[in-house]
Amino acid sequence: MTKKKDKANEVIQGSAPDPGATDQGSAPDPGATDQGSAPDPGATDQEGDINLPEHDPGKPQEGRKIEFLVIHCSASNLPKHDNAATIDAWHKERGFKGIGYHFFIRHDGTLETGRPLDDDPILEREEIGAHTLGINKSSIGVCLSGIDSNDFTPAQFKTLSRLVETLEEKGIEFKIAGHNFFTDKKSCPNFDWREWVTDNFPEKLPE
Ligand SMILES: [Zn+2]
């Protein structure tokens, strides 16, 4: 099992020194100059096959159960922001330990993994998302790159559909909603997610 190791890594990350501290002396390669490189938020998947960790829906823990897939937007349509690493950096600046979403979908439809999903329960404490106030423990967060309803591409929605189907195949039951379903203070994801859900997964429309 790699879970123990993963958790250990998370613990180490969580207790990392103040990000303002310089750690040049501890760099493994003193010759390296890529100080600006962001940590890898997860494997990218150019081919489009979605590989998720094994999930055993029969082992809920502490009453946690996934109820929603929450759709977000990145609130930027700049090409340089069209990647999970940028979101990871933004969220770290906001004090999160890393990207708050579990998945990120680029303009070209590439799926990137953000915060990991674990096996039992699907969200270990370290894997709980940081994306939707009040339901982080019971939801999976996916972010589409873009800010305006015109930004989102057919390729992105195709990947979103495949993500939904893949999660279903894992035995996870959930409704699909946009971030703004849960708060009046957000317009995110800035497109008519109800229409998309109705057209593609009508049984997953929340009441
Ligand atoms: Zn959002």
| Residue 175 structure tokens | 């409704």
Residue 62 clears pLDDT 80, i.e. is over it:
no
14-47 pLDDT, tens digit each:
333 333 333 333 333 333 333 333 433 443 334 4
The pLDDT assigned to 65 comes to 79
Q: Which of 55, 72, 91, 131 is catalytic?
A: 72
Write out the two tokens for 139: 């939801």
pLDDT at position 150: 96
Q: Give the span between the Cα atoms of 64 and 122, in whole angstroms.
A: 9
Interacting residues of 118 by C-beta distance below 8 A, sequence separation 6+: 3, 6, 53, 124, 126, 127
Q: What is the pLDDT of residues 134-164, one digit of tens each?
A: 888 888 999 999 999 999 999 999 999 999 9
Residue 98's pLDDT is 86
- Write down the pLDDT at residue 25: 34
**How confident is the model at residue 61, as a pLDDT?**
44
Instruction: Dig out the tokens for 164 from the structure.
Output: 């939904």
User: Does 102 qualify as catalytic in the annotation?
Assistant: no
CA of 88 to the centre of ligand 1 (A): 14
Concerning whether 131 is annotated as a catalytic residue, the answer is no
Residue environment code for 5-15, b if the CB has 16+ CB neighbours within 10 A, otherwise e:
ebeeebeeeee
> Tokens 């937007």 map to which residue?
73
- Where does 64-207 sit in CATH, by number? 3.40.80.10
Q: What is the pLDDT of residue 137?
A: 82
State CA 174 to chain mean position distance: 16
Active-site entry in 101, 102, 107, 131: 101
Give buried/exposed letters for 95-112 (b at 16+ CB in 10 A, else e). Answer: eeebbbbbbbbbbebbbb
Give me the percent of the chain exceeding a pLDDT of 90: 46
Is the confidence at residue 173, as pLDDT, over 50? yes
Single pTM value for the model: 0.70
Q: Is the pLDDT of residue 181 over 60?
A: yes
The CA R_g of the chain, rounded to the nearest whole Å, is 17
State the pLDDT at residue 16.
33
Mean pLDDT of 85-92: 94
Question: For residue 3, what is the enclosing H or E element?
Answer: helix 3-14
User: Is 55 an annotated catalytic residue?
Assistant: no
